[in-house]
Amino acid sequence: MEEKLKIAIQKSGRLSEKSLELLKECGIKISNTDRKLKAEARNFPMEILFLRDDDIPQYVEQGVADLGILGENEVWEKDKDVDIVEQLGFGNCRLSLAIPKEEEYTGISYFQGKKIATSYPKILLKYFAEKGIDVKIEEIGGSVEIATGIGLADGIFDIVSTGSTLIMNGLKEVDAIVKSEAVLIANKSLNDEKKALLEKLLFRIRAYKKGSGSKYIVMNAPNESIPEICRILPGMKSPSILPLAEEGWSSIHSVVQEDEFWDVIDALKDVKAQGILVMNIEKMIL
């Protein structure tokens, strides 16, 4: 009987759709998406389990699922014996301390002896223990941002993406404690066949990540500018250079990381590159 990877993802919530999109970009077609409990992949030996995100670390540790996609914050908080095998580059957020907007914040010592509401008590207690600050934790499962307004706590510790929810509830962010993103976790006791399947999946994920974080650019330039352009554009190994019909000119092809893109474009314009064409990359195999 063929082995199948069992991968757990959130049945709802901020990472659910992104996780399904990632599998789709990896060429994995899911037979149904009603998310009652599980779904089968039609063209890859995989079974998708739809679970609560805070249950995923335990299920992966116990081998109920082989893999899981969830936020690092849940991995840290649950502190289960699993491997983080890949940072996925989406679901970015931060876990921050916030207090009522009218309060004057005097630094981290502000929280000495105060009560803080959170869904992440382990992360928070570890942080304050390292700072030597004694706090009281009010652990709640949801709607953390209303805790100060109803007198339950003096401050909160929660996930922040844009900060708009804090503002709506009369709070201000005062300290970002840790940054988090979606990760792929794995059971530590996968057999050889499942490890091989995991490597195939990781190959696809990394090709997608590399492509989505890069731009393919094509430009025309006078031949005397090529050495300087090669310095600006190393590409994966070196730029591809093709002669144009017009003597003394060439077409240059390369790949640029998205976070460096505009600086590179400015530098290329300075060395007489023109007709610069920019294209998205769907996948990139190195």
pTM of structure: 0.81
Q: Return phi, psi of residue 148, to 5°.
A: -75, -35
Q: Do residues 107 and 244 both lie within one domain?
A: no
pLDDT tens digits in sequence order for the chain, 286 residues long: 678 999 999 998 879 999 999 999 999 998 765 657 889 999 999 999 999 989 999 999 999 999 999 999 999 999 999 999 999 999 999 999 999 999 999 999 999 999 999 999 999 999 999 999 999 999 998 889 999 999 999 999 999 988 888 999 999 999 999 999 999 999 999 999 999 999 999 999 999 988 887 888 999 999 999 999 988 886 556 788 999 999 999 999 988 888 888 888 889 988 988 999 988 888 777 6
- Using DSSP's 3-state secondary structure scheme, residue 155 falls into strand
CB distance 71 to 91 below 8 Å: yes
How many Å from the N-terminal Cα to the C-terminal Cα in the chain? Answer: 33
Tell me the one-letter amino acid at 71.
G
Q: Give the separation between CA 254 and CA 238, rounded to whole angstroms.
A: 8
The CATH number given to whatever domain includes residue 147 is: 3.40.190.10
- Using DSSP's 3-state secondary structure scheme, residue 19 falls into helix
Q: Give the separation between CA 168 and CA 165, rounded to whole angstroms.
A: 5
Q: Do residues 240 and 139 both lie within one domain?
A: no
Handedness of CA 162, 52, 152, 76 (dihedral sign): negative
Q: Do residues 100 and 240 both lie within one domain?
A: no
The CATH number given to whatever domain includes residue 234 is: 3.30.70.120
**Domain total in the chain:** 3
- Using DSSP's 3-state secondary structure scheme, residue 196 falls into helix
For residue 128, CA distances in Å to 123, 176, 222, 228 come to 9, 13, 60, 52
Q: Do residues 10 and 123 both lie within one domain?
A: no
Q: Give the separation between CA 239 and CA 248, rounded to whole angstroms.
A: 18
Q: Do residues 24 and 154 both lie within one domain?
A: no
Q: Do residues 109 and 81 both lie within one domain?
A: no
> By residue range, what is the domain housing residue 111?
93-180
For residue 221, CA distances in Å to 84, 198, 234, 246 come to 45, 44, 16, 11
